[in-house]
Structure 1
Amino acid sequence: MAEDYCELCDLPLSQCVHGRPEPKPAPVEPKATPVRTRSTTPRVPGTPVKKSAPRKWTSPDELKAPIVALLQEHGGELDADDVFPTLDERLGDALRPGDREPSPTGEPRWQLAARKARRALQDEGIIEPGTPGVWRLR
């Protein structure tokens, strides 16, 4: 019976940490090889390079600078009701054809992009958050 007890902690070997066998290492999964998305064939000189399709609407990142400039021209703040008409006048023909289409929320896509740009500017600390109805620079 003395053989069933650990000499270090005086517990049965089945309960003591000293009598437990070392855990087996977990099997190592082989790494998956990355999937290539582009063709690996070399481009033949003289063949045209494929270009991506032009964007259908303006991204929020493209609207950040015009929004900041607009707010700076109006003393650092502007009522939300005045932001979109003034921004529409300023951007005019710079908006893409798809910008005037309705977004999933029903408003024109460029206005949704402008709202997302405002949120990004708030996250960056450029526009003051938490002021409903007013877009204000910090």
Structure 2
Amino acid sequence: MSATDYCDLCDLPLSTCVHGMPKPVEPPPAPPKAPPKASPVTRRRTTTAASAGSTAPAAPARPRRRTPSVDFKPWIVKLLQEAGGQAESDDLLTELAERLGDVLRPGDLEKGPTGEVRWRTAARTARKELADDGLLLAPRPGTWALTDRGRVEWVPDLPSA
């Protein structure tokens, strides 16, 4: 090796010395990406009779498996009004089961993840929504009561049971 093969600053071979190494070359820019290929399945929007402005009736909606909690609201208010504005929750739910026994759907009678029958959970949700609306309160645990507003302002419109 000759003297020129060594760095004057650090006495290392130029091939390993940071002073003698050439500056790193910037990598060439990446080639532009090709546009994504079209999927092998081409989906086309088809015009149906309903979307084309035809007067054909729409397909019937799928029937619900369970009664929505909103449907319990008028019944809860009606039963509380009949009870004088206040009732024990268990008594009220028992009366609700008697009145709505024929109306409850098969999914209402299944047990939910908490172990309670689903219609009772929906009725409790309806009670909470009535309380949020200012129509109901719980003066003590296990008791549901109508507020003055619930006694006077809201007359439930009950579906035939």
Under TM normalisation by the shorter chain, which class is it? 0.5 to 0.7
Larger Rg: 2
Instruction: Decide whether aligned partners of structure 1 residues 67 and 40 sit closer, same or farther in structure 2, where only a CA change above 3 A counts.
Output: farther
Mark the runs of 5 or more structure 1 residues left unpaired by the alignment: 1-38
What residue in structure 2 maps to residue 64 of structure 1? 73
Secondary structure (helix, strand or coil) at the match of 2:137 reads: coil
> How far, CA to CA, are the matches of 1:60 and 1:76 in structure 2?
21
Q: Deviations over 1:58-96 (max 9, x none)?
A: 111000000000000000011112111111001110111
What residue in structure 1 maps to residue 96 of structure 2? 87
What residue in structure 2 maps to residue 5 of structure 1? none
Which structure shows the higher helix fraction? 1
Mark the runs of 5 or more structure 2 residues left unpaired by the alignment: 1-44, 148-161
> How far, CA to CA, are the matches of 2:48 and 2:140 in structure 1?
55
Equivalent position to 1:110, from 116, 119, 130: 119
Secondary structure (helix, strand or coil) at the match of 1:78 reads: strand
Equivalent position to 1:43, from 38, 46, 49: 49
- Displacement of 1:129 in angstroms is 3.9
What residue in structure 2 maps to residue 55 of structure 1? 64
Mapped contact 2:139–2:145 kept (Cα < 8 A)? no
Aligned residues: 100
- Displacement of 1:40 in angstroms is 7.0
TM-score by length of 1: 0.66
> How far, CA to CA, are the matches of 2:138 and 2:80 in structure 1?
14
> How far, CA to CA, are the matches of 1:130 and 1:43 in structure 2?
56
- Displacement of 1:48 in angstroms is 5.3
The answer to whether the aligner puts 1:77 opposite 2:86 as a matched pair is yes
Secondary structure (helix, strand or coil) at the match of 1:120 reads: helix
Superposed, which structure 2 residues align to 1:90-101 within 5 Å?
Answer: 90-101=99-110
Question: Over aligned residue pairs, what C-alpha RMSD do you find?
Answer: 1.9
What residue in structure 1 maps to residue 140 of structure 2? 131
> How far, CA to CA, are the matches of 2:56 and 2:134 in structure 1?
47
What residue in structure 1 maps to residue 14 of structure 2? none
What residue in structure 2 maps to residue 122 of structure 1? 131
> How far, CA to CA, are the matches of 2:85 and 2:46 in structure 1?
52
